[in-house]
Amino acid sequence: MDSERLKYQFRNFSIGSLLNLFLLLVAASCLFPLFWTFSTSLKTQSQVFSDMSLIPKAFHWENYYLAWTEGSFGVYFLNSVLYTICTVIGIVLVSSLAAYAFSRLKFPGRNLFFFMFLAAMMIPLPGSFVPLYIVMKKLHLLNTPQGYVLCMINVGLSLSIFLLKTFFDKMPTDLEDAARIDGCSKLGIWWNVALPLARPALAVIVIFNSLTVWNEYILALIIFDDTRFMPLQVGLSTFHGEFVTQYPLLMAGIIITVIPILLIYILLQKHIVKGLTAGAVVG
């Protein structure tokens, strides 16, 4: 009896430690590539090809300065920041206006319009960037920051409207009613009452869309020819394609691209996971 139990405990223990080892290995596989990138970013170009040590002997922080200036990652970084901020502000304003109307206001065709936005999330059409390119060309928006921002606002619109409408539907209307009785206009209620109350949903939308814009590549590739306007993702890929790759600078560029995302992710993990899974589940 005793040996039976011992055997059972041993089996449980060994399965448990195997599982722990496995979890640790997978976690290491997630972290190590980033660590190796960071390590490479601190070496010199010649060390990169000769010295495979995980921790470089001397830390060449100047690579970051060079990547920022000569590698143009400073320009790309500021572009990405600008596009992200503009797109997110645009999405918050446009989608919250629409979501508020879909939830609170009455007008003919309300459900039809809402269904239209919903359907857009369900239907994948990768081919539509051909006509998108044509539209942008016709409107003289190719190779312009405002064209890219408008495009990205459209990308985030459907999901944001959907999330906000769901939130508004669950939100009690008491405060809005009170504001209406006090003579507040519809627009005033939206701005002064509904938006502040919707802060939790807005947080998810802001974070989710920031990530999307920051990481977006394919539309930026299609829209921008001019390096002055390129965001980080396109900047990274063109940097890699040119001449002999300056690996330390490329890796520094990658770290520059990744740090804001990692910081936001670690600080706001819950919101991000909520937003991304909502996005995946609906999209």
Partner 1 sequence: MKFQKSTLENYLFILPAVVIFSIFYIYPFYETFNLSLHNWNGISASRVFVGLRNFKEVFFQDRHWWPAMGHAGYITLIALTFQNALALILAMACDRQIRLGKFYRLVFFIPPVLSEVVVALIWKWIFEPNYGLLNFWLANLGLHNLAREWLSRPETALSCVALIHSWKGFGWGFIILLAGLQTIPQQLYEAARVDGANSWRRFRHVTIPLMIPVFVLVSILTILGSMQAFVLVYQMTAATPALGTTVPVTRILNAMREVQPPRFGFACAQGVVFGLILVILSFLQLRLSKKMRQA
Is 250 near partner 1 (CB under 8 A)?
A: yes
Is 10 near partner 1 (CB under 8 A)?
A: no
Instruction: Label residue 260 exposed, middle or buried (CB < 10 Å: 0-12, 13-18, 19+).
Output: middle
Is 263 near partner 1 (CB under 8 A)?
A: no
Considering the complex, what minimum distance in angstroms separates the CB of residue 138 from partner 1?
10
Considering the complex, what minimum distance in angstroms separates the CB of residue 91 from partner 1?
10
**Which residues inside 98-127 make contact with partner 1, applying CB under 8 A?**
98, 100-102, 105-108, 113, 116-117, 120, 123-127
Q: Which is nearer to partner 1, 68 or 90 (CB)?
A: 90
Is 259 near partner 1 (CB under 8 A)?
A: no
**CA angle, corner 201, sides to 232 and 194, nearest 5?**
120
Cβ pair 148, 219 in contact under 8 A = yes
Is 217 near partner 1 (CB under 8 A)?
A: yes
Distance CA 99, CA 107 (A): 13
Is 244 near partner 1 (CB under 8 A)?
A: no
Cβ pair 205, 164 in contact under 8 A = yes
**Composition of the chain by helix, strand, coil, percent to 5:** 80, 0, 20
**Which residues inside 193-212 make contact with partner 1, applying CB under 8 A?**
211
**Which residues inside 164-193 make contact with partner 1, applying CB under 8 A?**
186, 190
Considering the complex, what minimum distance in angstroms separates the CB of residue 49 from partner 1?
5
Residues that bind partner 1 (rule: CB under 8 A) add up to a total of 83
Single residue of 44, 129, 180, 197 touching partner 1 by CB under 8 A:
129
**Which residues inside 135-164 make contact with partner 1, applying CB under 8 A?**
135, 139, 150-151, 153-154, 157-158, 161
Considering the complex, what minimum distance in angstroms separates the CB of residue 131 from partner 1?
4
Single residue of 134, 178, 259, 267 touching partner 1 by CB under 8 A:
134
Distance CA 41, CA 61 (A): 8
**Which residues inside 30-69 make contact with partner 1, applying CB under 8 A?**
30-31, 33-34, 36-37, 40, 48-49, 52
Distance CA 17, CA 28 (A): 16
The window from 1-9, 70-78, 81-89, 234-242 that contacts partner 1 (CB under 8 A) reads: 234-242
Distance CA 218, CA 207 (A): 20
Is 89 near partner 1 (CB under 8 A)?
A: no
Distance CA 112, CA 166 (A): 16
Q: Which of 179, 182, 156 is nearest to 96 (CA)?
A: 156
Is 13 near partner 1 (CB under 8 A)?
A: no
Q: Which of 169, 163, 166 is nearest to 275 (CA)?
A: 163
CA dist list (Å): 87 to 16, 59, 214, 219? 47, 37, 10, 14
Cβ pair 95, 202 in contact under 8 A = no
